Structures are given as C-alpha cells and as structure tokens.
Structure 1
Amino acid sequence: MAISKGDKVSWNTPQGTTHGTAVEKRVKEFTFADQKFKASDDEPYWLVESDKTGARAAHKESSLDQV
C-alpha cells in the first residue's frame, strides 16, 4: 500500500470506521499527544486528521485503508 500526503484514508475505532486525511508520514521514533511511537522505514506511522472532528491522531500505515 502506498499512502501519500493528502490521501483519504479510513481506520477502525471502538465506535466504528473513521474517515480522514493523511497529513504527515513519520519513519523515526516520535512523541505525539504525550505518547511515544516507534516508527521506522519498515513500519511507518501517519498523522491523520478526522473528517468528522478535525482531531489528529497517529496510526500505523498498516492499520489504514485508502478510500
């Protein structure tokens, strides 16, 4: 899967599927919302922005689906 900045994506939450936009790809360890994430070239993370709330969250690329 090749997600690019600006792509529409979806991911699963306890409330169901959420849709949003891929904002920024991370491939090195980083902190977001007081949580540490161990991103790498093999397991990149994306900062995504929810279409519904505008809130941003970090998700593994493997947990995202292109819409």
Structure 2
Amino acid sequence: MNRKKQTPPPLHAGDKVSWQTPQGRTAGTVVKRVTRPAQAGGHTAQASSEDPQYEVRSEKSGKTAIHRPQALHKR
C-alpha cells in the first residue's frame, strides 16, 4: 500500500487550532505564518518560504510558540 504524504490544509491568522504538548493537548489561535527563522518560547524555529511554520498563542497561558503545520489540528 502506497501512502501519500497528506498536506495539511492552509492555516490563517485567527484560526482556532490544537496541538500536543508534554502536558497534554493544548488549544489556541494562529497568530501568523512564519517564513523565516524566528524565536518564540526560547526556541528558534528554522522556518522558510518552502517550509513555513505557524506562530500560535495558547488560550490557557497566553504564551506563543511556533509549530510545523503537521503538528496543528484545526478545531
């Protein structure tokens, strides 16, 4: 069986998303699409226009993080 790598649907600022953390599932909002190296939460994301990532803000803590689109699930 040949499985194609599914491309996640595009996300936009304001979209409600969730993602997995070591503490469990977290929910938040997409702040922006990141297309160059950027820092959030003490981590440097190596994003590019060919490999974009998304800055998200947690509903619970208000902190921001940058995640790959595969890690985010639209709610």
Q: Given the two structures, how large is their TM-score scaled by the length of structure 1? A: 0.86
Task: Give the structure 2 partner of residue 9 of structure 1.
Answer: 17
CA distance in 2, matches of 1:32, 1:52: 16
- Could you say what the CA RMSD is over the residues aligned between the two structures, in angstroms? 1.3
Q: Does the alignment pair 1:46 with 2:54?
A: yes
Q: Does the alignment pair 1:63 with 2:66?
A: no
Q: Given the two structures, how large is their TM-score scaled by the length of structure 2? A: 0.78
Q: CA deviation at 1:50?
A: 0.5
Percent of aligned positions that are identical: 36
Deviations 1:4-60 (A, max 9, x none): 110000000011110000001111222334432211233211110001111111111
Aligned residues of 1:26 and 1:46 also touching (Cα < 8 A) = yes
Structure 2: which 5+ runs fail to align? 1-8
Which runs of 4 or more aligned residues in structure 1 lie more than 6 Å from their structure 2 counterparts after TM superposition?
Answer: none
Structure 1: which 5+ runs fail to align? none
CA distance in 2, matches of 1:11, 1:35: 16
CA distance in 1, matches of 2:41, 2:25: 21
Query: What SS is found at the alignment partner of 2:70?
Result: helix
